Structure 1
């Protein structure tokens, strides 16, 4: 039994550190056709060769993708929907409709969150705070994206046949979900800290250069986290960014090097892990809210669970523009949220 006189969390600058870390009881990753052909395919729980998933629209397909992800998560956790106190999730569709339509049939208390491609780390951080603080015993964190739905909303319909620029990234068709428990049990990966980022804007107005727009936010969150916790990238087996791609990853390294922080040998980008850029023709790399979520569940958490990694940071980045603001000539603000994950205690 935890000592109630000991605070469950300690605030260190922008970092929320958990003295009794919540645990990840289970996780699941579901992907589409492109993901099935990628280097991480073996880590997914379920992959579809038809991105429409038998539905009439791409938007319905994304909800179906999420539903399969939740069902697999509950199955792996040996839990029912009635045992979940709260679900936190979102997607890239307007008003997070993919997630809302998923949970209308699950009868779980639902709080929608939106951080664009940073949503998974945001949902995990909030779930950890709520469970550690006693507001929930079990919280579900999930997000997704769908290539075809995102293209239609943010760029042009697929049948338009528009040419992609060299800086453009490929939106993942994928979903990732985690079940967060109030205190890590034996054999559970622990969520030991979270840091919620600050909005940064480098005045990028090119809607096809998400990596360049998001890199400053990732650099800011990491800089503050390392300073708050008096640590460095060398203390981690991996520092995973959500989906900066080639352009954003190079910019992140430059920005942190100027601050005296060396990521060499530690930094990995989920958008560069999910696909083989050369053979799959994914441009500057993968992106989308489902990119980091699915890589987390298919690759990062299994490595921590088996002890192949001991400590890792997941820094999910999100571009917070809309189609309207881009048409109005606004620049693209971005945010990056972070969670620290550690292997189960011996």
Structure 2
């Protein structure tokens, strides 16, 4: 019997893991956005001196993992598991970062939902008594994602108004058992939703149904209402997906408009920075959660947060074969009363 299950798809932790540290790194464009003061490292050069953008993304993840370990006063040997993934083929950023870290590693792929996927599984390992310290991480890079999923960078294609700008960034969360830190209290695992969206330039519309379903499930499973939380943050829906989520959740009799925002809508000055519908990518929710949200919680300005990273489970192969874009969303409740 699954004693820690609550409702349909939610887990309630008996011994809530604590987020004892975070680290975030972003590219130059993100470092000029509204949240620039919340990031730990802002790059001057998004190549990091490497000879490819893919190697640069790997270095970003390696850097934030080392940074969060150092900030917490621990050593790599103190970390029991490293859970991470990214957008690149065979999750190479996470794999090669793990190669150099020498921490027991689980590679994950949840597309842009990977931050809450890794955090969910890390929290389960902690509450299950399988680990004392776990790191959850993910990354993305505009230039690696653009040329893998869309067009060669040199092509300079015109971007649709519904398009989102893949965030160059990486975030890492370190979970532990002791200290006065925000706690992971609930995890609601999403199911794959596909409403037949074919347009890869409208990812917000493709992922919003998964976010809506997971939010609805979380509220039903826990008995909570939106106003329980100081903030509800989806990860990567951008402006289009954020509006859809607000409007369609009302059909389930939930009005989240007073406490809700999206990381993709927060991270850029869309008009000034020409980012159309906002940000996306694994790194979008990662750096906003690990930078902006965590620092707000540590200052006790936010005490109860519900974070929901959303992912489009597509590939170049599926797109070329005419497949639609499935979405997934995982929710994590973080509380610091």
Deviations 1:295-343 (A, max 9, x none): 0011111111111011010000000010111111111000000100011
Retained in 1: the 8 A contact 2:6–2:222? no
Q: Secondary structure of the residue that 2:209 maps to in structure 1?
A: helix
Q: Corresponding residue for 1:99?
A: 94
Is 2:323 the partner of 1:304?
Answer: no
Q: Structure 1 CA distance, aligned partners of 2:99 and 2:69?
A: 17
Q: Secondary structure of the residue that 1:197 maps to in structure 2?
A: coil
Q: Corresponding residue for 2:221?
A: 228
Retained in 2: the 8 A contact 1:81–1:108? yes
Q: Corresponding residue for 1:157?
A: 152
1:248 pairs, out of 241, 244, 253, with: 241
Q: Structure 2 CA distance, aligned partners of 1:25 and 1:258?
A: 38
1:10 to partner: Cα distance: 4.2
2:311 pairs, out of 311, 318, 325, with: 318
Q: Corresponding residue for 1:29?
A: 24
CA RMSD of aligned residues (A): 1.1
1:137 to partner: Cα distance: 1.1
2:134 pairs, out of 133, 136, 139, with: 139
Is 2:172 the partner of 1:177?
Answer: yes
Q: Corresponding residue for 2:123?
A: 128
Q: Structure 2 CA distance, aligned partners of 1:90 and 1:222?
A: 23
Q: Corresponding residue for 2:208?
A: 215
1:9 to partner: Cα distance: 3.4
**Normalised by the size of structure 2, how large is the TM-score?**
0.98
Q: Secondary structure of the residue that 2:111 maps to in structure 1?
A: coil
Q: Structure 2 CA distance, aligned partners of 1:152 and 1:66?
A: 20
Q: Corresponding residue for 1:19?
A: 14
Retained in 2: the 8 A contact 1:66–1:99? yes
Q: Corresponding residue for 2:283?
A: 290
Q: Structure 2 CA distance, aligned partners of 1:116 and 1:170?
A: 15
Retained in 2: the 8 A contact 1:9–1:132? no
Q: Structure 1 CA distance, aligned partners of 2:49 and 2:61?
A: 14
Task: Point out where structure 1 has 5 or more consecutive residues left out of the alignment.
Answer: 1-6
Retained in 2: the 8 A contact 1:10–1:19? no
1:161 to partner: Cα distance: 1.0
Q: Corresponding residue for 2:263?
A: 270
Q: Structure 2 CA distance, aligned partners of 1:35 and 1:78?
A: 28
Q: How many residues align?
A: 336
Task: Point out where structure 2 has 5 or more consecutive residues left out of the alignment.
Answer: none
Q: Structure 2 CA distance, aligned partners of 1:223 and 1:99?
A: 31
